[in-house]
């Protein structure tokens, strides 16, 4: 009696839910996160308008390097990392289509054709009627339909979750495209900076060789000591060693560019290029714009929506499940009478299933879904905070590098003048050759630092573009 009452109560609850149009689980609302009103800006920055629907590329064209543009297009076409992300998006969209199909009835056609011999010695179904042995045909074509009434919203929540997961995969693809592009640009600009630094070393080596010839000639004439020759030779050998180290680093960046562009490293080569590049001026909006533009933030937000839908799926398991299964067809002993009115068969029924006892499994599933949702909320807030940090790092970093770059160029000009003065004083006999060597080392260090700062400005600009979520609208 208690069991009947429990089943009746469950059925009444199910009908009530169906009539009220309720859906199990909470509706999704994006949680709020604390956002600063503005960035800590230093010159030169200007405001930019966010556009959530706009494409996040091709931001690399802002740098005005045709070879980088070609490499980026090659990466988009051939990168296996992008192919993997695109395949995952296709999988997620297929899941959406498969899950959405549960909202519609399933129909299937079935047919059976048999010829069977019935035993005369089979058990009797009626003691007043004897069994007979018969041989007969049985032809049965059927149309079967099955439809689950989504009274608790399990299917609707499943579709919501699948759609959110597909949107997350789309954001992941955009984020992967952004990461591949920024990694490629970073490796390329590192390579370009090393090319400029190698050019600095080449010019320094040429200068040092001329100086070595000069002091060697003076030594042969008895005008200088062997110490001066040895000092100049040591400086030249040290500079030559630095060339080999830089070439090793250049090779590693070249191999990284090849891999990111989808090309085997052994068959890839980039010729040296020492043309100077200037990073574009990156416009900034308000911090909340980052939430609209960054694909990793969008991915984390869609993960929350998918996890929230799973709470509804788990909660719907407490309610009755009702499946309607109509059937219509024909059954006859011969094909000639198969489609006559007397051969029609049909049935209409419903299956109701109401959980009564699960040992806490259903409650545990709901708790698991809620905990998973809480985890996605925490991850979303972490991603947002990281985004704020990365943008602010890029802003302050570029401003500092702008000042350092100007100072480094001034230092190069000063070092050149010092070398000219030290050389003139040595040739005039007013000082030792150690001053010339010191001036050569200072000029080499200043020129290398200027080359490195130029590369760092480009890299930090790429980092800031990545932190802001890609390209922007308007002139750059």
Neighbours of 113 (CB within 10 A): 11
Burial class (CB in 10 A: 0-12, 13-18, 19+), 153: buried
* Cβ contact 329:142 at 8 Å: yes
Residue 240's closest CA among 451, 444, 19, 30? Answer: 444
Rg (CA), the chain: 38
Q: Is residue 348 part of a domain?
A: no
The total number of residues shown for the chain amounts to: 476
Please state, in angstroms and rounded to a whole number, the distance separating the CA atoms of residues 247 and 152. 66
SS3 153: coil
Please state, in angstroms and rounded to a whole number, the distance separating the CA atoms of residues 388 and 14. 47
Please state, in angstroms and rounded to a whole number, the distance separating the CA atoms of residues 383 and 124. 74
Please state, in angstroms and rounded to a whole number, the distance separating the CA atoms of residues 323 and 349. 9
pLDDT reported for residue 55: 55
Strands 321-324 and 350-353, bridge-based pairing? antiparallel
Q: Is residue 13 part of a domain?
A: no
**pTM score of the predicted model:** 0.79
Name residues whose C-beta falls within 8 Å of residue 325's C-beta, 6 or more positions apart in sequence.
Answer: 144, 145, 146, 147, 347, 348, 349, 350, 351
Q: Is residue 41 part of a domain?
A: yes
pLDDT reported for residue 416: 93
pLDDT reported for residue 57: 67
Q: Is residue 195 part of a domain?
A: yes
Q: Cis ω on the peptide bond leading into residue 58 (within 30° of 0)?
A: yes
Residue 62's closest CA among 279, 275, 234, 264? Answer: 279
Task: Say how many domains are in the chain.
Answer: 1
Residue 61 is part of a domain; what is its CATH number? 1.20.1600.10
Burial class (CB in 10 A: 0-12, 13-18, 19+), 34: exposed
3-state secondary structure 237-299: HHHHHHHHHHHHHHHHHHHHHHHHCCCCHHHCCCCCCCCCCCCCCCCECCCCHHHHHCHHHHH
Domain that holds residue 378: 25-104+153-318+360-468
Q: Report the Cα–Cα distance between both ends of the chain, in Å, rounded.
A: 78
Q: Is residue 411 part of a domain?
A: yes
Q: Cis ω on the peptide bond leading into residue 6 (within 30° of 0)?
A: no
Give one word for 312, left, alpha or beta, with left for phi > 0 and alpha for psi -120 to 50. Answer: alpha
Q: How far is CA 471 from CA 35, 176, 353, in A?
A: 22, 15, 54
Neighbours of 213 (CB within 10 A): 11
Q: Is residue 16 part of a domain?
A: no
Name residues whose C-beta falls within 8 Å of residue 331's C-beta, 6 or more positions apart in sequence.
Answer: 138, 139, 140, 343, 345
Q: Is residue 134 part of a domain?
A: no
Q: Is residue 52 part of a domain?
A: yes
Please state, in angstroms and rounded to a whole number, the distance separating the CA atoms of residues 443 and 455. 19
The CA-CA-CA angle for residues 447, 450, 451, to 5°, reads 90
SS3 205: helix
What is the mean pLDDT, run by run of 10 residues, along the chain of 476 residues? 44 46 73 62 42 62 92 93 94 93 91 91 84 89 91 89 92 92 95 94 90 87 85 91 94 95 92 88 72 84 92 91 92 89 92 90 94 94 90 88 92 94 87 86 91 92 88 57
């Amino acid at each position: 009696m208690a069991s009947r009452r429990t089943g009746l109560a469950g059925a009444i609850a199910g009908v009530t839910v169906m009539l009220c149009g309720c859906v199990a689980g909470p509706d999704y609302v994006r949680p709020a996160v604390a956002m600063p009103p503005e960035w800590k800006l230093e010159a030169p920055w200007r405001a930019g308008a966010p556009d959530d629907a706009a494409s996040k590329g091709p931001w690399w064209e802002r740098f005005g390097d045709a070879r980088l543009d070609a490499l980026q297009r090659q990466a988009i076409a051939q990168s296996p990392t992008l192919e993997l992300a695109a395949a995952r998006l296709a999988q997620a969209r297929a899941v959406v289509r498969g899950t959405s199909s549960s909202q519609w009835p399933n129909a299937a056609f079935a047919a059976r054709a048999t010829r069977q011999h019935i035993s005369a010695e089979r058990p009797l179904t009626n003691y007043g009627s004897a069994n007979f042995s018969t041989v007969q045909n049985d032809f049965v074509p059927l149309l079967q339909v099955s439809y689950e009434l989504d009274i608790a919203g399990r299917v609707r929540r499943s579709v919501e979750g699948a759609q959110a997961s597909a949107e997350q995969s789309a954001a992941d693809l955009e984020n992967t495209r952004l990461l591949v592009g920024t990694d490629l640009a970073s490796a390329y600009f590192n390579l370009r900076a090393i090319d400029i630094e190698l050019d600095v070393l080449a010019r320094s080596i040429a200068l040092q060789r001329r100086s070595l010839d000069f002091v060697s000639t003076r030594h042969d004439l008895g005008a200088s000591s062997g110490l001066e020759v040895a000092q100049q030779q040591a400086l030249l050998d040290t500079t030559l060693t630095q060339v080999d180290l830089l070439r090793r680093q250049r090779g590693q960046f070249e191999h990284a560019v090849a891999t990111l562009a989808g090309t085997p490293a052994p068959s890839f080569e980039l010729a040296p290029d020492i043309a100077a590049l200037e990073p574009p001026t990156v416009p900034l909006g308000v911090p909340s714009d980052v939430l609209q533009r960054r694909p990793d933030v969008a991915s984390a937000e869609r993960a929350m929506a998918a996890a929230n839908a799973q709470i509804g799926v788990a909660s719907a398991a407490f309610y009755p499940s009702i499946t309607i299964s109509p059937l219509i067809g024909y059954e006859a002993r011969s094909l000639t009478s198969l489609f006559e009115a007397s051969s029609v068969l049909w049935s209409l029924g419903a299956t109701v299933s109401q959980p009564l006892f699960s040992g806490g499994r259903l409650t545990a599933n709901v708790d698991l879904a809620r905990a998973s949702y809480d985890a996605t909320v925490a991850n979303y807030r972490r991603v947002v905070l990281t985004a704020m940090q990365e943008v602010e790092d890029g802003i302050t970093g570029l401003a500092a590098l702008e000042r350092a770059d100007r100072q480094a160029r001034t230092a190069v000009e000063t070092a050149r003048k010092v070398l000219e003065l030290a050389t003139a004083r040595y040739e005039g006999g007013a000082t030792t050759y150690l001053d010339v060597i010191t001036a050569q080392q200072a000029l080499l260090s200043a020129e290398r630092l200027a080359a490195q700062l130029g590369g760092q400005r480009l890299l930090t600009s790429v980092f800031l573009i990545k932190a802001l979520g890609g390209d922007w609208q308007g002139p750059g």
